[in-house]
Amino acid sequence: MSSLLALVASATAALGAAPPERGVAFGLFASAQSYDYRPLLEEMKRETGATHVSLAWVWWQHDVRATRIAAHETWSPSEAQILATIRHAKRLGLHVTAFPIVRLVESAPGEWRGRIAPTNERDWWESYGEFIEHAARLAAKGGADRLSVGSELVSRERMRGRWQALIDRLRLVSPSLELMYSANWDHFEPVAFWDLVDVVGMTAYFELTKSHAPSLDELVAAWSPVRKQIERFAAALGRRVVITELGYPSLDGSARYPWDETRQAKIDLEEQAIAYEAAARAWSDAPTLAGLYWWNWFGFGGPADGDYTPRGKPAAKVISRWYATPTLGGGGAEAPAPRRLPR
């Protein structure tokens, strides 16, 4: 182990207070609908000390022009898997966010869910509403605390009227759930409906360096203007924010391309751990930050794995060390915004 990696893994290295929501994202991404996520969930809590979990699952549309969103028999979990995982997380004492995501079966270069442009908007919104309502009913039935109504849907975010109708519908379907939206890291300010949701969320795959071998100090410094930007945004809203996804594959260059899940590069556990350490240091003692969720515990893990999961890697030690620190101010997350009733 290098001296830098030893520093990152050291229990004596100083970190400030973690946010009240000490989260880990947990993907329900197994290809078999018989897979039991409960042991992996227990491991995640034991190895990280997380108090909050975001359970992510995917329904699919064929391409950016499609109007129908549906479960896939291989790539989407069953209702039974979702319910069992939510319920087990609650038994473990975890706060649970249900985090349904739309993805594309087929995509051209540069196409992803942020560029959805359906041939018929009414049909797409009807299908999307059915998808999110289905997720809301499962979340409420399982005892989840929160529902993400969308994630990184950049091309949809100015359609306030559509979101108003969907959110009002969800308030009636599942009044016990907090509602959150998760914006993309480069597009969180233009979202037209922040006042309609209880929780302001955003992913955080910021490019922090052009180097494939960044130092810890370099990455910590690179976070400074990002943190200031988010703090200005939060102050303007009068709300705290939740980072819903923050992670790095254990590959060379991951701090430069944290959003790119398709890259092929050599395994680099050290760069992943250093990037985790830099994020923890940069966001310690941050009153604006209500919570942070590392992406993502699901995966094989271990020293031969180059995926995002921190399982069996030095990055997991960073999480557990940070989450063992006192909570800033000793309090929980902010109270949700007043609920809006349907008109």
Residue 334: predicted pLDDT: 45
d(CA 104, CA 114): 10
Q: Which DSSP state fits 221?
A: H
Residue 332: predicted pLDDT: 41
182 pairs with which residues across the strands?
151, 201
> Domains of the chain: which residue ranges?
3-327
Report which residue type is found at 257: Y
Nearest Cα to Cα of residue 202 among 175, 259, 242 = 242
Contact 103, 113 (CB under 8 A): yes
Q: What is the pLDDT of residues 285-300, one digit of tens each?
A: 999 999 999 999 999 9
Q: Is the pLDDT of residue 333 over 60?
A: no
21 pairs with which residues across the strands?
291
Nearest Cα to Cα of residue 312 among 105, 19, 47 = 47
Q: What is the pLDDT of residues 183-233, one digit of tens each?
A: 999 999 999 999 999 999 999 999 999 988 899 999 999 999 999 999 999
Q: Is the pLDDT of residue 338 over 60?
A: no
267 pairs with which residues across the strands?
251
Highest mean pLDDT among 6-10, 44-48, 261-265: 44-48
292 pairs with which residues across the strands?
22, 243
Q: Give the mean pLDDT of 139-165.
A: 98
The two tokens of residue 86 are 């939510």
Residue 225: CB atoms within 10 A of its CB come to 10
Q: Give the mean pLDDT of 106-132.
A: 97
- Max Cα separation, the chain? 61
Residue 9: predicted pLDDT: 52
Residue 147: CB atoms within 10 A of its CB come to 28
Of all residues in the chain, the percent with pLDDT exceeding 90 is: 87
d(CA 137, CA 141): 6
**Cis? peptide before 120, omega within 30° of 0:** no
d(CA 132, CA 170): 8
Higher pLDDT, 1 or 161: 161
Q: Which DSSP state fits 17?
A: P
d(CA 332, CA 342): 29
Q: Is 314 exposed, middle or buried (0-12, 13-18, 19+ CB in 10 A)?
A: buried
E-only strand ranges, the chain: 21-27, 52-61, 95-104, 146-151, 178-183, 199-203, 241-246, 289-294
Q: What is the pLDDT of residues 57-71, one digit of tens each?
A: 999 999 999 999 999
Angle separating helix axes 314-323 and 38-48, nearest 10 degrees: 70
Q: What is the pLDDT of residues 309-320, one digit of tens each?
A: 999 999 999 999
pLDDT band at 13 (very low <50, low <70, confident <90, very high): low
Contact 84, 38 (CB under 8 A): yes
The two tokens of residue 3 are 């001296």
Q: Give the mean pLDDT of 237-242.
A: 97
Q: Is the pLDDT of residue 5 over 60?
A: no
Q: Give the SS3 label for residue 183.
A: strand
Of all residues in the chain, the percent with pLDDT exceeding 70 is: 92
d(CA 293, CA 44): 12
- The architecture in CATH of the region 3-327 reads Alpha-Beta Barrel (3.20)
